[in-house]
Homo-oligomer: A and B are copies of this chain.
Amino acid sequence: MPNRICDIFDIDHPILQGGMTWVSDACLAAAVSNGGGLGIIGAGAMPARLLGEEIRKARQLTERPFGVNLIMINPEFEQQLEVVLAEAPPAVTLGAVKNTSVIPLMKEKGIKVAPVVAAVAIARRCEEQGADAIIAEGSESGGHIGDTTTMVLVPLVSRAVGVPVIAAGGIAGGAGVVAAFALGAEGVQLGTRFVCAEECPVHEAVKQKFMKSGDRATVVTARCVGYPVRTIKNKLSGLYDQWERKYMAGECTAMEIENLGLGKLREAMREGNVRDGSMMAGQSVALVDRVQPAAEIIAEIVAEAEAAAARLGSQMALSR
């Protein structure tokens, strides 16, 4: 059977690496793409000029298609968009979608566009504007999240749109891939697992922390100000907890809560301050236990998933 995600993005395996600020640079993205998936540069708050450099660097590191993740609520978004339209990377994944009219602008340049959505209504609007695929991201994901989990969001979005759906959130291995396909997805996006790719530029202390994390490791901060973010629990997340109580009591502003995170993602991810920095991670961090090359991660997931799907097909017994 042909896979529409492979066809659209011209990749060997329908596995995307989630765009992650301060984490997924050109090196990681190229390693994933060289492994047959779709690597994605996380633009985050990167100055537009640097983003252009990363895109050109990725082109040098891989001959395969790769993507850029843009986050529309980012202050740099307009300048980043200009660079993206000029450089025309093969693909863009679009987070925090506010204005779907940017989709046709990118499509005109031949860029494949996959918005990341957390609800059905926005998925429909993105499809109407020409999105090539929809990334349905469940609330178990890391970073900025919505409310609906992958188990429910993926079947709902798959029913609502005609373009193929890529499931994100809670997937770290072949079992999760088969589950996602059972729910209607035709591709998957993994972020957290690729943080532990060998080629990932995060500090070694972060990879160690990820590998040790279990099912109670993550927490959602800043829910009270309307921008919930999933991170690994540490001293910083405790600080959020205190300030959120103050906010609910009217003793501080939403801006003060948002400012708690300034520079903190970089402090954790690049400098290795796993205590005071912000380590965005999905709940699937509990399923990650090794550092491996990105290509090995992809090959392992494909093998696991194909074996698991075959096993389910022949052995699943729902009647005795």
Binding site for B on A (CB under 8 A): 1-3, 6-7, 11-15, 36, 119-120, 138-140, 147-153, 155-156, 169-171, 173, 175-184, 214-216, 218, 224, 244-245, 248-250, 283-284, 286-287, 302, 305-306, 308-320
Contacts and interface: CB of A to CB of B under 8 A. Distances in A.
Contact of A178 (B7, B248, B316): B316
A170 B147 contact: no
Counting chain B CB atoms within 10 Å of each CB, the highest count among A215, A287, A310 belongs to A215
A147 B309 CA distance: 28
A320 B178 contact: no
12 contacts: A3-B318, A7-B320, A12-B320, A119-B215, A140-B148, A152-B170, A175-B182, A175-B183, A178-B182, A179-B179, A182-B182, A182-B309
A5 to B, nearest CB: 10
Nearest to A10: B320
Copies of the protein in its oligomer? 2
Nearest to A218: B147
A305 to B, nearest CB: 5
A269 B214 CA distance: 37
A149 to B, nearest CB: 4
Contacts of A283: 148-149, 151-152
B320 A313 contact: no
Contact of A140 (B2, B120, B149): B149
Given A3-B320, A13-B318, A140-B149, 9 more contacts: A12-B319, A140-B148, A147-B216, A151-B176, A156-B286, A156-B287, A182-B182, A244-B248, A249-B250
